[in-house]
Structure 1
Amino acid sequence: MEKLAVIFDMDGVIIDSEPIYRSWNKDVFKKLKIQVDEETQLSFVGGTAKRKWTILKDKFSLSPSVEELICLQNEIFSQKEWAFKSLLFPAVLPLLQELKEHSIPTALASSSNKKKISDVLDQCELRAYFDEVISGEDFERGKPDPDIFLHAAEKLEVPTSNCVVIEDSYNGLTAAKRAGMHCVGVRHKEIHMNLSQADRTVASLGEIHIEELKELSKR
């Protein structure tokens, strides 16, 4: 049997950052004088900033370019402070340790930019647990397109059919399925995302066990 590989999303899976993003987004939306409904907000969760602002520019006929809107977001977000270790989900480290003990290759494949990913890994002391770290910044097409996950499988040298992706968003799960991978959806206690594409849904990574991941990869 081909070896199993596990690919993790970051926001909403490794760290509980989505509610904070929502709060900060309100500041950006207020600056632009727009009110973004729940359905629209859910539509860009898990995707890149470029995809998000392409959606919002079109929906609200915003005059700045997508690049200018991203710059505005970065300017506002840069004034905020992250304490990533306080956002780390408790069950993350035990699962990563177990995967490492069993020599199961892992990748972090996040739509976030490289700096944020690096800060999360360093503050939470997780860098040693991932064989590959991949940012959506490096891809023209972000989730829900499968490119980032296909690249992760290639880097790990594991067939896509033997990869299990752990995601918390509709866009992330869509990308995983389009890549021909199996996936586990992580439910958030506050944000109700459509996880219907997941092969299995959990409320915490503590519910995920290696034997179950191996069974998923055989399907």
Structure 2
Amino acid sequence: MKELAVIFDMDGVIVDSEPIYRRLNEDIFKILKIQVDENTKLSFMGGTTKRKWTILKEKCSLSQSLEELIALQNSIFTKQEWDFKQILFSEAIPLLKSLKEQEIPTVLATSSDKKRIQAVLEQCELRSYFNEIVCGVDFERGKPDPEIFLHAADKVGVSAENCVVIEDSYNGVTAAKRADMYCIGVRHKLIDMDLSQADRVVDSLSEVRVAELKQLFERPSHIL
């Protein structure tokens, strides 16, 4: 059993996509003629599309089916020209390189759909940095349920208590802590997300040092 693995969320951690998603969501809300308060918007950030529309369908008494609402979102999102390289957090690359050089397994565990994940990995040339990719749509329950992170740990053969999760949303942090994992919350400059459950909060991935992560899980030497 390896002694450390690092699990990364994608949106808001690797790429600064959340402001774009919020703008596109506003376009959808206008089409549906609904007003969505900020607390509700924050409640579905970091979760799957299905979870978001389940919340909004009930909250806003929408008559459309979940399938119709998801299809509407997909039609709006696919019209967006995605240039993920332009919104890549540059601080992510040195951290990923350092983890790879020190042979520490990494997993990308995100609620985004598979096409968007693939686009980010290809445009930003990131695929080689991750040992495994885990997509939230493959699970019945998305974040804040811990299933996605527990599966990520299993994929790289690391116990949950030896995993570090890097997240930017309340739902992601909650999922990490429910999985009994150490969590680093990354604060966004524009979106005021509750990261209070995180073990540590940073303003940038440049503050995360691999040596410090390794120290978290060092085993005391055996006394002979």
Counterpart-to-counterpart distance in 1, 2:33 and 2:150: 38
- Corresponding residue of 1:60: 60
Counterpart-to-counterpart distance in 2, 1:102 and 1:3: 12
Q: Is the 8 A contact 1:7 1:108 kept in 2?
A: yes
Q: Does 1:152 align with 2:146?
A: no
The 4+ residue runs of structure 1 with deviation greater than 4 A are none
Counterpart-to-counterpart distance in 2, 1:218 and 1:117: 33
Pairwise CA distance, 1:49? 0.3
The alignment covers a number of residue pairs equal to: 219
- Corresponding residue of 1:86: 86
Pairwise CA distance, 1:218? 5.6
- Corresponding residue of 2:182: 182
Root-mean-square deviation (CA), in Å? 1.2
The code of the aligned residue for 2:183 comes to C
Q: Is the 8 A contact 1:167 1:184 kept in 2?
A: yes
Counterpart-to-counterpart distance in 1, 2:71 and 2:217: 40
Gaps of 5+ in 2: 220-224
Counterpart-to-counterpart distance in 1, 2:217 and 2:167: 16
Q: Is the 8 A contact 1:182 1:216 kept in 2?
A: no
SS in 2 for 1:51: helix
Superposed, which structure 2 residues align to 1:13-24 within 5 Å?
A: 13-24=13-24
Counterpart-to-counterpart distance in 2, 1:127 and 1:98: 15
Counterpart-to-counterpart distance in 1, 2:117 and 2:215: 30
Q: Percent identity?
A: 68
SS in 2 for 1:78: helix
- Corresponding residue of 1:3: 3
- Corresponding residue of 1:111: 111
Gaps of 5+ in 1: none
My pick for the range that moved more, 57-66 or 1-10, is: 1-10
Counterpart-to-counterpart distance in 1, 2:81 and 2:39: 27
The TM-score, its normalising length taken from structure 1, stands at 0.98
Q: Residues 21-41 of structure 1: CA distance to partner in whole angstroms, max 9, x if unpaired?
A: 000001100000001111000
Distance 1:44 1:217, change over 3 A: farther
Q: Does 1:96 align with 2:96?
A: yes
The code of the aligned residue for 2:3 comes to K
The code of the aligned residue for 2:35 comes to Q
The code of the aligned residue for 1:114 comes to K
The TM-score, its normalising length taken from structure 2, stands at 0.96
SS in 2 for 1:50: helix
Q: Residues 62-81 of structure 1: CA distance to partner in whole angstroms, max 9, x if unpaired?
A: 00111110001001111111
The code of the aligned residue for 1:6 comes to V
- Corresponding residue of 1:170: 170
Counterpart-to-counterpart distance in 2, 1:23 and 1:212: 37
- Corresponding residue of 1:134: 134
SS in 2 for 1:81: coil
SS in 2 for 1:177: helix
- Corresponding residue of 2:45: 45
SS in 1 for 2:79: coil
Counterpart-to-counterpart distance in 2, 1:83 and 1:108: 19
Pairwise CA distance, 1:217? 3.9
- Corresponding residue of 1:30: 30
